[in-house]
Amino acid sequence: MIILDGLFVIVDSPILELVSSDTPDGALDGQRRPRAVPSQCALDIIADALDFELEWVDWNSVPEGGRSGVPDYFTTKGRKRASCTMVPCALAK
């Protein structure tokens, strides 16, 4: 099982948005590097192509009072944090 947690572009189409991000301290002398931020639809297609079953965590099912510590899972600004699990289809059956 693979557990993914990260930023996703909020669109209905399968896209990879290229952004520039800082490298970790000490890596590449602080240079910026390109990074792809997928839409959830894009990750669905990638999982299918790799023969993985993908299941998204529904963070909206968490009551407002139980969201302390994960407020960025509920913000938008064109991107959102999301979580999912991926299991090879051969193991999911």
Domain ranges of the chain: 2-23+31-92
What tens digit of pLDDT does each residue of 11-67 get? 999 999 998 877 666 566 667 788 899 999 999 999 999 999 999 998 778 787 777
CB atoms near residue 89 (< 10 Å): 13
Predicted model pTM: 0.77
Q: Is pLDDT larger for residue 14 or for residue 79?
A: 14
Distance CA 9, CA 79 (A): 4
The predicted model gives 71-75 an average pLDDT of: 62
Closest by Cα among 90, 4, 89, 77 to 40: 4
The residue behind tokens 């991926």 is 86
Q: What is the structure's pLDDT at 27?
A: 63
Q: What is the structure's pLDDT at 79?
A: 86
The predicted model gives 67-87 an average pLDDT of: 78
